[in-house]
């Protein structure tokens, strides 16, 4: 038996367990199981790691950063971002990866045009670090936007028409709009969005958030976070089988 699982808290509506259970059935894989490990403290990870047939873990909120001290080695992205969402376990060695990076980059690429040379990144949490890592790799200049405007981050009130015209890619990495808080949206000046803007919402539930709906009204192209979510899971599976 090869055992895989997800650590995080809470794990009430886990995408991953359903995804992998369906994947094993589709592939006819009978010796794999994917379980949820809703741990309330990272110290509980030690007990999970003792399972002799454990081959891989996904990591979600709030442990993507806290899991790093448990790793024996880590990818360049994990070290750079300071967040790990996929652990490969081989012969007792734990290797950390960040497959959010893969998922975000691969899902964004088909929507990019030459004029997408500067991006607004709404939010400054863990997901935004993965987004900024990818933007830097793609030579797209990132600009953080935060509720707490500080050095390096604009406030929402700083988003003038000029700033919006300059940044034709806008990425929401805040949880605003996510179920059940579906009426909320980031406070950007939507009236300055145009058909040249592309809006990417990392939120995937609902499929169309207020952020995306308001962008569509202005003629912007939009995408939600579902493809990223699926791609990061596919990449985890590839890593565990490599
Ligand atoms: N599609 C995917 O595969 C994928 C992968 C990872 C994450 N996500 C989604 O991305 C979102 C962010 O994840 P995360 O782990 O980075 O979360 P997080 O750390 O809790 O929040 C991200 C940032 O959003 C801002 N923020 C938080 N609450 C806000 C509010 N009420 N109003 C305005 N801004 C707020 C904060 O930045 P400031 O304090 O600077 O404003 C915060 O640092 C979640 O919805 C998560 O589900 C999706």
Query: What distance in Å separates the CA atoms of residue 149 and residue 152, rounded to the nearest whole number?
Result: 8
**In the numeric block, which tokens belong to residue 200?**
């990417």
pLDDT at 14: 83
33 lines ligand 1 (CB under 6 A): no
pLDDT at 150: 83
Query: What distance in Å separates the CA atoms of residue 147 and residue 126, rounded to the nearest whole number?
Result: 15
pLDDT at 55: 98
Prediction pTM value: 0.96
Measured in Å, residue 19 CA sits from the centre of ligand 1 at: 23
Query: What distance in Å separates the CA atoms of residue 103 and residue 232, rounded to the nearest whole number?
Result: 5
Measured in Å, residue 227 CA sits from the centre of ligand 1 at: 17
Question: In this structure, are residues 64 and 8 in contact, taking their beta carbons and an 8 Å threshold?
Answer: no
Query: What distance in Å separates the CA atoms of residue 60 and residue 83, rounded to the nearest whole number?
Result: 10
Residue where the block lists tokens 């690429």: 109
pLDDT, block means (10 residues), the chain with 242 residues = 97 91 96 97 97 96 97 98 97 97 98 98 94 98 95 95 98 96 98 98 97 98 98 98 93
Q: Is 129 exposed, middle or buried (0-12, 13-18, 19+ CB in 10 A)?
A: buried
User: Which domains are seen in the chain, by residue range?
Assistant: 2-97 (3.40.50.10860), 102-228 (3.40.50.720)
User: If we measure between CA atoms, which residue out of 45, 3, 40, 46 comes closest to residue 21?
Assistant: 3
Ligand 1 atom index nearest CA of 127: 16
pLDDT at 100: 97
23 in catalytic set: no
pLDDT at 13: 77
């Amino acid at each position: 038996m090869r055992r895989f699982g997800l650590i995080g808290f809470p794990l009430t509506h886990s995408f991953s367990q359903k995804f992998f259970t369906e994947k094993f059935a589709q592939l006819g894989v009978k010796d794999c199981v994917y379980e949820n490990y809703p741990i309330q403290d990272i110290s509980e990870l030690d007990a999970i790691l003792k399972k002799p047939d454990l081959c891989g873990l996904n990591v979600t909120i709030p442990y993507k950063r806290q899991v790093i001290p448990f790793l024996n080695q880590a990818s360049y992205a994990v070290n750079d971002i300071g967040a790990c969402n996929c652990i490969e376990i081989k012969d007792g060695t734990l290797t950390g990866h960040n497959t959010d990076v893969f998922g975000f980059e691969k899902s964004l690429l088909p929507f990019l045009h030459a004029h997408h040379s500067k991006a607004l990144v709404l939010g400054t949490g863990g997901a935004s670090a993965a987004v900024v890592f990818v933007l830097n790799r793609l030579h797209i200049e990132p600009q953080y936007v935060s509720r707490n405007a500080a050095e390096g981050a604009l406030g929402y009130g700083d988003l003038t028409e000029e700033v919006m015209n300059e940044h034709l890619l806008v990425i929401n990495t805040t949880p605003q709009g996510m179920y059940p808080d579906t009426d909320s949206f980031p406070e950007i000046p939507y009236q300055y969005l145009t058909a040249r803007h592309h809006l990417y919402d990392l939120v995937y539930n609902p499929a169309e958030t207020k952020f995306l709906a308001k962008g569509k009204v202005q003629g912007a192209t939009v995408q939600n976070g579902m493809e990223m979510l699926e791609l990061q899971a596919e990449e985890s599976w590839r890593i565990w089988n490599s």
